[in-house]
Amino acid sequence: MGIFDMHGDAREGKGKNQHHIKGVVCDVRNCAYHDGDNYCTANKIAVGPSFATSCTDTVCATFKQKNQNL
C-alpha cells in the first residue's frame, strides 16, 4: 500500500474538536482542512510521491477541495 492509499481517515471540515497539526503550515485556502489561518486540521497528512526529487515534485495527497456550498 502506498502513501496515496492511506489518507482516507482525515477529518473533514471544521468542528468543536478542530486541531492544528503542529509545525504544518498550509496556504491552500480551498482545501477542506484549511482552518482560515494557514493551518491544517486533518488528522494526518500524506505527502508524496516517493520518487520526488524536489519540493515542486511533491503533492499533498490529503487535499480535499472545500465544499463551496457551505
Instruction: Report residue 27 as a C-alpha cell.
Output: 496556504
d(CA 20, CA 2) in angstroms, rounded, equals 25
Q: Mean pLDDT for the chain? A: 79
Domain count of the chain? Answer: 1
pLDDT of residue 4: 45
Does the model's pTM come out above 0.85?
Answer: no
Q: State mean pLDDT over 37-62.
A: 94
For 30, left (φ over 0), alpha (ψ -120 to 50), or beta? alpha
Using the structure block, give the residue that is written with the C-alpha cell 474538536: 17
pLDDT tens digits, residue range 6-21? 444 444 444 445 688 8
Which residues form the domain of 15?
A: 1-70
